[in-house]
Amino acid sequence: MKIFRTCIFPKDVQCITGRSERSGRRLLNEIRNHFGKDSHQFITSEEFSEYSGININVVNEYLQKVS
């Protein structure tokens, strides 16, 4: 079984949404604030999916391809 990552980074947001990498950083900061996380904590694919409304299967499929 291949393990794939569960954390979302700005480059992932860029590839999934088509936004710029800077917009990806901004969106991840908004998600951190929404979930009450500190700036050093990671955003998971589940949190990104819930906040953005993008199906979790689409996000996980992308992460599997790039891992």
Task: Please report, for the chain, the start and end positions of each structural domain, with discontinuous segments joined by +.
Answer: 7-66
d(CA 5, CA 38): 20
Q: What is the pTM assigned to this prediction?
A: 0.91
Residue 1 has pLDDT above 70, yes or no: no
d(CA 27, CA 66): 20
Structure confidence by residue, pLDDT tens digits, 27-36? 999 999 999 9
Residue 7 has pLDDT above 70, yes or no: yes
Beta strands in the chain (DSSP E): 7-8, 43-44
Structure confidence by residue, pLDDT tens digits, 37-49? 999 999 999 999 9
Average pLDDT, the chain: 94
